[in-house]
Amino acid sequence: MLVLLWLLLLWTAAGVAALAAFNLLFAKLIERLVPPVGRFMEVEGLRLHYVDTGDKPGQDGPPLLFVHGWLGQLNHFSFGLAALFPERRVVLVDRPGCGYSQAARSPTIAANAAVLAAFMDKIGLRQPLVIGHSLGGAIALALALDHGARIAGLALIAPFTHFLSSPFYKFMAEQGRISRWISAWLFGPLMSVLRAASPSNPGFAPETPPRGFWRGAGGLLPIRADALLAGAREIPAQERELGAMGARYATLKTPVSILFGSGDRLLDLKTQGEAFCAVAPQTKLTVIEGGHCLPITQPKKCEAFIRAALARQ
């Protein structure tokens, strides 16, 4: 009986090691298919990956800083949206733990905003319009609340303004360190592939990923185990942080424009968009047909929204 128990433990350990090794090799393959497209800079002890079109003569008005969402990266914007603003300085950055940026020890919303503020100072990015998508919207709001003098305004696309009460987010928020590691390094990549391939993928539904999404828009990068682990570590503090931020929304002095897809199945228009607008001053809400990933599926409409937000500055 003892021998069988030892054999079972050895087989389990071997299986875990093999699965982790496979996922590591899978991540290396993804990185060959979707290599870095920008430069690297150390900010607050973290190595960040970013794209900066530069401060050039003839550029008009505020620069643009794009902040991606949960399990996203800067390719979501470089895929089709960022190039629509050739007259402006455009900066895209992988948040800590995302894309090719180093993960932070404290992956909170406030910590993300602090890193972005330091990043802006380091590259000389002054008074940008901050475009935040999904969780990037919450981080952009934290920038406005904690570092408001550094930015000109906010253009938020499907922003995450209040914590989700869904079973998935509750489960992710309550996971321990070991279960987060197991989820990310053993089962996360395969489950992510199956979820992404589903026609009911809430990240896009009722729309579908455009052709070229997996490589051109970096759709493969979040499937890496280390990216999944970094994403899981972001969730536990969000309920507390968003609750505290919600109590401060009425104090916002920064102009805020919000764009939502009427069919968004990931973040609800009423609880995330309309509820925010009810308490935050100087906020304008625009609703169009579409899902959650509007910067990827509808870049032209996002461009029009951003230009309208610039006109409000």
pLDDT in tens, 15-73: 556 676 777 888 899 999 999 999 999 999 999 999 999 977 767 789 999 999 999 99
Helix (H) or strand (E) holding 91: strand 90-93
Give the pLDDT confidence score for residue 60 in this predicted structure: 74
Q: Span 113-117, mean pLDDT?
A: 98
Percentage, residues of the chain above pLDDT 70: 90
Determine the Cα–Cα distance for residues 131 and 64; give it in Å rounded to an integer. 7
Three-state secondary structure call for residue 15: helix
Q: Which of 165, 168, 157, 129 is nearest to 273 (CA)?
A: 157
Which residues does 184 contact at the CB level (< 8 Å), separation at least 6?
225, 226, 228, 229, 232
Domain 37-53+62-311 fold: Rossmann fold (3.40.50)
Confidence of residue 8 (pLDDT cuts 50, 70, 90): low
Q: What is the per-residue pLDDT across 143-166, written as a single tens digit (0 to 9) for each? A: 999 999 999 999 999 999 999 877
Q: Span 167-177, mean pLDDT?
A: 77
Other beta carbons less than 10 A from residue 128's beta carbon: 21
The chain-wide mean pLDDT, for the chain, equals 89
Bridge partners of residue 284, in order along the sequence: 257
* Assigned token pair, 115: 């890193």
Give the pLDDT confidence score for residue 313 in this predicted structure: 77
* Assigned token pair, 294: 């509007």
Q: Are 65 and 120 in contact (CB under 8 A)?
A: yes
Q: Which of 124, 126, 136 is nearest to 63 (CA)?
A: 126
Helix (H) or strand (E) holding 286: strand 283-288
Determine the Cα–Cα distance for residues 306 and 293; give it in Å rounded to an integer. 15
Confidence of residue 217 (pLDDT cuts 50, 70, 90): very high
